[in-house]
Structure 1
Amino acid sequence: MKSFLYRHGLVLFLVVMFGRGIIGMLTVKGIQAFNPALTVQKDLGWLVMLLYAACAFAAVKWVRMDKEIGLIKPASKEWFVWLPVLIIPLTLGLHLGFHSTWGHVPLLLIAALGVAINEEILFRGILLRAMLPFGKAVAIIVPSLLFGTAHLGNIFVGGDVAFGLFQFAWTFIAGMALTALRLQNKSLLPAIGFHFILDAVEYAATGEFGVHSINFSLGWLTILVLLNAAFLVYALYLLTRNSNSVNTGIGAVSAKY
């Protein structure tokens, strides 16, 4: 089983996606059996995200794929070239402000870290590895499209519809940018770090675990999409600039698949 999942990354991706969902659902239902007033959006989101991250990390460690998908130190020491992308969480924080209690912040940070680890391992780790044999363009676009589509599910669990649709757009775009970031660094850690910072700011601003019922203006949602588009352009520029090192790194590893 272990060797089969190692060789068939797409199957591993599906197993982890559905497996973590089942574990998370059963955990929530079990807790709500004792206290029905608790909800994922307000109370249990941090626990669900932590479980998701644990499942994803345990899966890649079990099949011994963790280092191969990028759970290693970045190859590039030029970490400072990615500092401009922090304009996105900075702009988000300035626009939304801070609407949470300090006692709730630790749980929001746990949730943000859980989301970052879970989603980066799944989409920029397992799925990216499975798609690389089909070419770099496919490996950048397909996992990112699925990443964006996965966020549409927030609409069905109480999220604002307009926010959900725009979230699909910017997560698709940001997913491609994060994939370029992962390829350029040959590591998932910078992508996890940026993802964590962005979600931590968003969660602290709204006081919610990523499934928003509050209304966002059309203008602000458009600005966020444009900021992520600028992130993508910058990320692709850096990836192209470092194409030689990429071809001798992860590209060479993926060739045997």
Structure 2
Amino acid sequence: MSIEITNNKNTSPYAKKHPIWTVVIVELLLLIIMFAAGAYATIKKVDDATLPVLIAFIPIAIALIIYLSWKRRWRYMGFRPLLEIPKRGWLYYLPFVAVLAAISASGFKEVTSSELLYFLGFTLLVGFVEETVYRGLILKALLNKSIPTAVITSSVLFGITHLLNMLSGQNLLDTIMQIIYALLIGAALSLLIIKNNNILPLILFHFIHNLIRFLSPEVAGTSINTPVIMDGLVILILLAQCIWIASSLKKKTKAIT
């Protein structure tokens, strides 16, 4: 499966010849848009930490939809029927179920129906944009280099981007924890799309994960405040998942060669 996506004919000529510059351009554009949205929110003295992300991600989502439709690259980016995932391939998503159960352990706060609808729309938007950018555009471009380069670089960039949360008032400790989460989750998601070549389960997990965080009684904005023991458990689960998937990919590559 990994050999198929690295050699996919739908790869754009520029991304194939200049994968590093493609990644740099995509990441810079994303950061510029997010900085601009953050600056606007600061000038307007907006208290809602989600608004800058909303302002930035709506135009990005529209641009992605137009681009993927115009270039006919929905399937190439992993937007494929779930039935195409092999039965055994579904096993590799099971650790995500454990992660979601762990972060749900503290329960949920009471919200109004309008707040719930807002959180649903917001987290779905974030899941679509971030997965399409990091596990789609960036990872697919870097696969022209190698699988390790694609996984590591896309995960690191995903983690670095979350540093922007400091601009919305998040403290340093919470931001560091979020970067660790982002790195590990990014690595697991990257390995999974290489394994099964389907982005839909990744968007679904990203969406549910963020929704639970927002609905947690201990969450304020985008901060992560779950108990240390639970955080450690989630990290161990994600590490085990990454090792498991990477091992299966290594065996598959050896079998092909």
TM-score (norm 1): 0.76
Does 2:243 match 1:233? yes
d(CA) in 2 for partners of 1:99 and 1:10?
A: 45
RMSD: 3.4
Structure 1, 39-48 or 163-172: larger mean CA deviation: 39-48
The offset of 1:100, in angstroms, is: 3.6
d(CA) in 2 for partners of 1:108 and 1:118?
A: 15
Does 2:75 match 1:67? yes
Letter in 1 for 2:239: A
The offset of 1:19, in angstroms, is: 3.7
Query: How much identity, in percent, do the aligned residues show?
Result: 21
Aligned residue in 1 for 2:160: 149
Aligned residue in 2 for 1:125: 136
CA contact (8 A) 1:53 1:117 kept: yes
Aligned residue in 2 for 1:57: 65
Aligned residue in 2 for 1:169: 180
Does 2:231 match 1:221? yes
CA contact (8 A) 1:89 1:198 kept: yes
Give the unaligned 5+ runs of structure 2: 1-11
CA contact (8 A) 1:145 1:172 kept: yes
d(CA) in 2 for partners of 1:157 and 1:31?
A: 9
Q: Give the alignment partner of residue 187 of structure 1, picking from 168, 193, 198.
A: 198
Q: Give the alignment partner of residue 197 of structure 1, picking from 203, 208, 233.
A: 208
SS in 1 for 2:144: helix
Aligned residue in 2 for 1:85: 96
SS in 1 for 2:135: helix
The offset of 1:88, in angstroms, is: 0.6
Aligned residue in 1 for 2:120: 109
The offset of 1:182, in angstroms, is: 0.2
CA contact (8 A) 1:50 1:111 kept: no
The offset of 1:235, in angstroms, is: 2.9
Aligned residue in 2 for 1:253: none
The offset of 1:90, in angstroms, is: 1.6
Give the unaligned 5+ runs of structure 1: 249-257
d(CA) in 2 for partners of 1:16 and 1:71?
A: 20
- C-alpha deviations, 1:136-171, integer Å up to 9, x for none? 221211111111121122123211321211211121
The offset of 1:217, in angstroms, is: 4.1
d(CA) in 2 for partners of 1:86 and 1:210?
A: 23
Larger RCO: 1 or 2 (CA < 8 Å, sep 6+): 2
SS in 1 for 2:132: helix
TM-score (norm 2): 0.76
Does 2:79 match 1:76? no
